[in-house]
Chain A
Amino acid sequence: QQQVKQSPQSLIVQKGGISIINCAYENTAFDYFPWYQQFPGKGPALLIAIRPDVSEKKEGRFTISFNKSAKQFSLHIMDSQPGDSATYFCAASKGNEKLTFGTGTRLTIIP
């Protein structure tokens, strides 16, 4: 059973545009929602994370929007740059349990 569903599978955005990746979860006990960025041949790196007591968190060009009632959260990348081209994973965890990852979104930023 896939507990975290991620879309789209791939995304192409023009340089300077906004990249939006969405995730939906099923387990209402999840209380930690991070986004990871992964470049080819590298391990995932934490980008930004949110807890369900807030609806939005912004760090630089990256924003997480969180909708607890809809059980959805999304990553927005403002002013997207070619260096942002990577695979992005959402994830969720409950208390002291392990991270459950989405299936990933391959983002390509074109000039």
Chain B
Amino acid sequence: GAGVSQTPSNKVTEKGKYVELRCDPISGHTALYWYRQSLGQGPEFLIYFQGTGAADDSGLPNDRFFAVRPEGSVSTLKIQRTERGDSAVYLCASSSQGPGTEAFFGQGTRLTVV
């Protein structure tokens, strides 16, 4: 595809449920990032992959959050035992060279925990 694709675009889930959010980066981009954006705020870093490995996961808020990128392309952000405070837009971005170079963002997944 031409850009970063995120699915689903919207997800409503009940408190305590498990959710998976998917990101398809731009073809050939080795770096992939997940950010979380709350209403009226700037994106907050969650995790950064270089290839298949997590180069920096310091932004993951707690152990309920986990992300994988098994083949160095598609990534999945997994949230266990969702809480209402997890409601936000989850953004994925990719770049060809890593942080400090142009990152292209997807349109995000709006997660609502009810």
A residues within 8 Å of B by Cβ? 6, 31-32, 34, 36, 41-46, 49, 89, 91, 93, 95-104
Please classify how large the interface on chain B is, using the bins under 10, 10 to 19, 20 to 34, 35 or more.
20 to 34
Q: Which B residues fall within an 8 A CB radius of A?
A: 4, 33, 40-45, 48, 55-56, 59, 91, 93, 98-100, 102-108
Residues of B within 8 A of A43 (CB): 4, 91, 93, 105-108
B105 touches A45 (CB 8 A): yes
How many Å from the CB of B97 to the closest CB on chain A? 9
- A31, A36, A46, A100: residue with the most chain B Cβ atoms closer than 10 Å: A46
CB distance from A84 to the nearest CB of B (A): 19
Docked pose: A32 CA to B103 CA in angstroms: 12
Q: B43, B59, B107: which contacts A89 (Cβ < 8 A)?
A: B43
Chain B nearest CB, measured from A39 CB (Å): 10
What's the Cα separation between A101 and B99 when bound, in Å? 13
Which 3 A-B pairs give the minimum distances between C-beta atoms? A101-B42, A43-B105, A98-B45
Q: How far is the CB of B90 from chain A (nearest CB, A)?
A: 10
User: In the complex where A43-B93, A43-B107, A44-B91 touch, is A103 in contact with B99 (Cβ < 8 A)?
Assistant: no
A104 to B42 alpha-carbon distance, docked (Å): 6
Contacts of A101 in B (CB 8 A): 42-44
What are the residues of chain B within 8 A of A46 when measuring CB–CB? 102-104
Does the CB pair A99–B4 fall under 8 Å? no
B3 closest partner in A (C-beta): A43
Indicate if the CB atoms of B107 and A41 lie closer than 8 Å: yes
With both beta carbons as reference points, the residue of chain B lying nearest to A49 in the complex is identified as B102
The smallest C-beta distance from A22 to any residue of chain B, in angstroms, reads 15
Instruction: Output the least CB separation between B12 and chain A (Å).
Output: 16
Task: Report A98 CB to chain B, min CB distance, Å.
Answer: 4
Given A89-B43, A101-B42, A101-B43: A32 and B107 interface contact (C-beta under 8 Å): no
- Determine whether the beta carbon of A44 is less than 8 Å from that of B100: no
Residue numbers in B under 8 Å from A91 (CB-CB): 42
